[in-house]
Amino acid sequence: MLSEEPLVTAAGENGPAAAGMTADGTAETPAAVPGAGMVADSGGAAGPQSRTTDIVPGPGGVMTDEVGVVTGDLTLRTEYADGKVTLRVQYKDADEWYVVTGTSVTLADAAGLDAVHGVAVGLLNRPEG
């Protein structure tokens, strides 16, 4: 028959049953597992994330909110932050980034970032015209 009495820890406090304890009552040493509890992106699963790819748009270029149409060798960055995805472009190796017009939309799960970036590259990269 199981006892209904609270368990008492080594320090004399009421506590949970033997979680993390060995048979002799000493604390169990945690196992060292490299990367345990970590995510691949430095921003964390829900934090800001981005993907970048160099592209060459077709003859019409890429329309941006800040400066209008940009053409030539560009870098496309697909960003995910706060439940939204936004596409930005910059002239290759420049400092300024411009929002691609109409591309700031809700994305329910950051796991879709790679797919969104792949579609954006497929639509905007037209080196042959």
Comparing CA positions, the residue from 90, 96, 5 lying closest to residue 52 is 90
Average pLDDT over residues 12-23: 47
pLDDT at 24 (0 to 100): 56
* Segment 44-52 mean pLDDT: 77
Query: Dihedral (C-alpha) 66, 59, 86, 90: value to the nearest 10 degrees?
Result: -60
Amino acid at site 12: G
Residue range 53-76, pLDDT digits in tens = 999 999 999 999 999 999 999 999
Amino acid at position 94, single letter: A
Task: Kindly report whether the global pTM for this prediction surpasses the value 0.75.
Answer: no
Convert the pLDDT of each residue in 77-121 to its tens digit.
Answer: 999 999 999 999 999 999 999 999 999 999 999 999 999 999 999
The pLDDT score that the predictor gives to residue 119 is 97
Our CA dihedral for 81, 84, 90, 95, rounded to 10 degrees, sits at: -30
At 23 the pLDDT is 56
Q: Supply the DSSP symbol for 27.
A: B
Q: Per-domain residue ranges for the chain?
A: 49-124
